[in-house]
Amino acid sequence: MVYTSGGTPYVTPHILHKHYAQSYDTEQSSLIGQHVEYFSQAGFDMDRVQIKRNVSPALLYEDAVRNEGAVISSSGALINFSGKKTGRSPKDKRIVYEETSKDDIWWGSVNIKMDEHTFEINRERAIDYLNTRDNVYVFDGYAGWDPKYRIKVRVICARAYHALFMHNMLIRPTEEELAEFGEPDFIIYNAGQFPANRFTKGMSSTTSVEINFKRMEMVILGTEYAGEMKKGVFSVMHYLQPVKFGQLSLHSSANVGMDKNDVTLFFGLSGTGKTTLSADPRRQLIGDDEHVWSDEGVFNIEGGCYAKTINLSAEKEPEIFSAIRFGSILENVVYNPYLAGT
Ligand SMILES: Nc1ncnc2c1ncn2[C@@H]1O[C@H](COP(=O)(O)OP(=O)(O)O)[C@@H](O)[C@H]1O
Ligand SMILES: C=C(OP(=O)(O)O)C(=O)O
**Sequence ranges of the domains in the chain:** 20-68+87-245
Closest by CA to 330, choosing from 113, 96, 61, 20, is 61
Q: Tell me if 271 CB under 6 Å of ligand 2.
A: yes
Supply the pLDDT for residue 338. 80
Give the up-direction half-sphere exposure of residue 178: CA atoms within 13 A in the CB hemisphere: 17
pLDDT grade for 11, boundaries at 50, 70 and 90: very low
Tens-digit pLDDT profile for residues 48-66: 889 999 999 999 999 999 9
Q: Residue 216: is its pLDDT beyond 70?
A: yes
Measured CA to CA, the distance from residue 139 to residue 87 in angstroms comes to: 22
Closest by CA to 144, choosing from 275, 237, 25, is 237
Closest by CA to 157, choosing from 193, 204, 113, is 193
Q: Tell me if 289 CB under 6 Å of ligand 2.
A: yes
Q: Residue 109: is its pLDDT beyond 70?
A: yes
Q: Tell me if 85 CB under 6 Å of ligand 2.
A: no
Atom of ligand 2 nearest to the CA of 88: 10
- Bridge-based pairing of strands 248-250 and 208-212 is unpaired
pLDDT grade for 340, boundaries at 50, 70 and 90: low
Confirm whether the ipTM is greater than 0.90: yes
Atom of ligand 1 nearest to the CA of 309: 25
Supply the pLDDT for residue 35. 81
Q: For the chain, what is the mean pLDDT? A: 90
Atom of ligand 1 nearest to the CA of 272: 22
Closest by CA to 214, choosing from 284, 126, 117, 135, is 117
Supply the pLDDT for residue 341. 60
Q: Tell me if 271 CB under 6 Å of ligand 1.
A: yes
Average pLDDT over residues 154-161: 98
Q: How far, in Å, is the centroid of ligand 1 from the Cα of 273?
A: 3
Q: Residue 26: is its pLDDT beyond 60?
A: no
More confident residue, 16 or 258: 258
Residue 309 has a CB neighbour count (10 Å cut-off) of 15
Shortest-distance Cα residue to atom 3 of ligand 1: 273
Q: Residue 27: is its pLDDT beyond 50?
A: no
* Fold that domain 20-68+87-245 belongs to in CATH: Phosphoenolpyruvate Carboxykinase; domain 1 (3.40.449)
Supply the pLDDT for residue 1. 31
Edge-first strand listing for the sheet containing 297-300: 248-250, 291-294, 297-300
Q: Residue 128: is its pLDDT beyond 60?
A: yes
Q: How far, in Å, is the centroid of ligand 1 from the Cα of 59?
A: 32
Supply the pLDDT for residue 10. 38
Q: Can you give the pTM of this predicted structure?
A: 0.90
Supply the pLDDT for residue 40. 86
The pLDDT > 70 percentage for the chain reads: 89
Q: Which amino acid is at 258?
A: M
Under 8 Å between Cβ of 302 and 170:
yes
pLDDT grade for 121, boundaries at 50, 70 and 90: very high
Of 5-19, 34-48, 131-145, 308-322, give the lowest mean pLDDT range: 5-19
Supply the pLDDT for residue 342. 64
Q: Tell me if 306 CB under 6 Å of ligand 2.
A: yes
Distance of CA 42 to the CA centre of its chain: 21
Tens-digit pLDDT profile for residues 222-273: 999 999 999 999 999 999 999 999 999 999 999 999 998 899 999 999 999 9
